[in-house]
Amino acid sequence: MSPAVERVGPAPIEHAGEDRSNEIRRRLAAVEPHCLRTYTPTLAVLAKSAGCYHWTPEGRKLADFTSGVLVTNLGHNPTRWWRRVLEYLGLDALPYTGEFVQARTLNAYNAITEIETVATERLVEHLRSQPGGEGLEQVLWAASGSEAVQKALWAALERRPGEDIILATRGGFHGKKGLAGAVTGCETDHDRDPRVKFIGFPKEECGSVERRRRPIDLAPYRQELDALWAEYGSRLCCLITEPYLGGGGSFHPQHEYLQLLAGWCHEHDVLFILDEVQANFGRTGSAYAFTTYGVAPDIVVLGKGLGNGVAVSAAVGRAEVFANLQYGAGSDTWSANPLASAAVLATLDEFETTDVLEHAAELSRVIEAGLVRLTELPAVERIRGEGVVWGIECAPVGRASAADVAVRAVEACYFGDAQGRAIHLLGPLSGKVLRVSPPLVMELDEAKVYLDALYEIFAALGKKLASA
């Protein structure tokens, strides 16, 4: 028997009444480093998921207000979606057979499958049918959002010799790897790639639902761009931004801001890259955020909801932009594999043949009404968002800082209100913001029930902290 491994790092999270979950957390902590996960104080152990809910090994039901980090826009394990995936793979049922393994585990590394071709054609057709997507011609597949961002930036840098300066909006999140990490955050986070220059993002002007609905003064942002052009001129190759700052605290800018960026890029022949890995497939109200915001990207980066739980992403852009990347420059092991291609096709089918976007619009109104109520409570400073992605900015209460309140709120939601209605949330964004982003298909009455529970939980937490 091998000797026991001495534990290092933080102690495993444990909760009273969760014997089975606590055992699983302890076992995993012994063989997996804690850095694999983003900190969430509950560290929920999930035994199964279906629709808009999770269940713990102890049988507790949690309403999913995360969509698996904005991934399962169509809900967890949707039956019709999975049937379509299996049909596209040529299967009637699981488990996979040896024949399937032999015939279906190809990827785009050095071979082609017909299902990849169909998925690519369908995605391009769908994008080009949307306002703002008319110029999108080719798909550069990847397996994660940061990889797709990386490939988009590689393509931009190879477009013309000498164009080596990348502009990025301050406070964004595009990934942790390579250039995707270099364009994330701001100048002071860590040593930067000298090719990356950051520009302002109107966080103050869109800090709440009310502020976002006011006009925005675009002059300072235009002046900043013009100053960069005066300094670097034709060395500028691209500008990358997000429709909204997700990881940066759920800041959703006025549409005019993104329209300014896109228009300026087109005026100066600088590529406009829109990273809507979090926002695609219905999060902001339209199938793609570029339609919501009224812009036409040269490259749009897709992911998360694109595969509804299957790992797939893509940079989609003009053919002439990608043409400068030579064989192998955009390849990787898992891109465009048959399972990912089938997942994309099944997702497109759902968005093209059902009323998911219409339902999401109704759900958005329900969520906004439920969250606005929270601002009556001392533990909530403000809310902001759009479509089916919102942020709750917590406020300090008593001796507890806003960040402490946010952590306590995640824990309180996990155990639920007096009626046992529990909610799964992610750890705080930017220290004190909680994201609310359930699947687009959550039933309206169920959403109201859990938004009421959220109100009760925040009210009780505020009273408890105020008297501490």
| For range 210-228, the mean pLDDT | 96
pLDDT at 8: 63
For 255-292, give one letter per residue: b (16+ CB within 10 A) or e.
ebbbebbbebbeeeebbbbbbbbbbbbbbbbbbbbbbb
pLDDT at 106: 58
pLDDT at 1: 41
Pairing of strands 299-302, 380-386: unpaired
Instruction: Give yes or no for residue 101 having a pLDDT over 60.
Output: no
pLDDT band at 94 (very low <50, low <70, confident <90, very high): very low
Instruction: Give yes or no for residue 92 having a pLDDT over 90.
Output: no
User: Rounded to whole angstroms, how far apart are CA atoms 25 and 11?
Assistant: 10
User: Rounded to whole angstroms, how far apart are CA atoms 297 and 87?
Assistant: 33
pLDDT at 65: 97
pLDDT at 111: 83
| For range 251-261, the mean pLDDT | 97
Question: Could you tell me which of 47, 52, 102 has the C-alpha nearest to residue 72?
Answer: 52
Do 20 and 58 meet the contact criterion of CB atoms below 8 Å apart? yes
Instruction: Give yes or no for residue 3 having a pLDDT over 60.
Output: no
Question: Could you tell me which of 8, 42, 3, 76 has the C-alpha nearest to residue 305?
Answer: 76
Q: pTM score, two decimals?
A: 0.93
Q: Which residues pair with 382 in a beta bridge?
A: 393
Going by C-beta distance under 8 Å and a sequence separation of 6 or more, which residues neighbour residue 439? 51, 52, 64, 67, 72, 73, 74, 75, 76
User: Rounded to whole angstroms, how far apart are CA atoms 421 and 413?
Assistant: 8
Instruction: Give yes or no for residue 93 having a pLDDT over 90.
Output: no
Do 366 and 448 meet the contact criterion of CB atoms below 8 Å apart? yes
From-to residues of CATH 3.90.1150.10 in the chain: 19-77+356-466
Question: Could you tell me which of 77, 87, 96, 66 has the C-alpha nearest to residue 349?
Answer: 87
Give me the chain's average pLDDT, please: 93
pLDDT at 308: 97
Alpha helices in 354-396 (DSSP H): 356-372
pLDDT band at 7 (very low <50, low <70, confident <90, very high): low
pLDDT band at 362 (very low <50, low <70, confident <90, very high): very high
Quick: pLDDT tens for 265-274.
Answer: 999 999 999 9
| For range 111-130, the mean pLDDT | 95
How many CB atoms are closer than 10 A to CB 355? 11
Do 183 and 172 meet the contact criterion of CB atoms below 8 Å apart? yes
Instruction: Give yes or no for residue 97 having a pLDDT over 90.
Output: no
pLDDT at 249: 92
For 27-55, give one letter per residue: b (16+ CB within 10 A) or e.
eebeeeeeeeeeebbbbbbeeebebbbbe
- CATH no. for 87-353: 3.40.640.10
Quick: pLDDT tens for 329-347.
Answer: 999 888 999 999 999 999 9
Arch. (CATH architecture) of 19-77+356-466: Alpha-Beta Complex (3.90)
pLDDT at 17: 94
Q: Where are the beta strands (DSSP E) in 86-151?
A: 138-142
pLDDT at 4: 52
pLDDT band at 468 (very low <50, low <70, confident <90, very high): confident
Pairing of strands 271-275, 196-199: unpaired
| For range 241-247, the mean pLDDT | 95
9-13, 93-97, 309-313, 411-415, range with the lowest pLDDT: 93-97
Q: DSSP character for 268?
A: T
| For range 131-160, the mean pLDDT | 97
Pairing of strands 48-50, 53-55: antiparallel
User: Rounded to whole angstroms, how far apart are CA atoms 110 and 104?
Assistant: 14
Instruction: Give yes or no for residue 96 having a pLDDT over 70.
Output: no
- Residue pointed to by tokens 């269940």: 55
**Residue type at position 63:** A
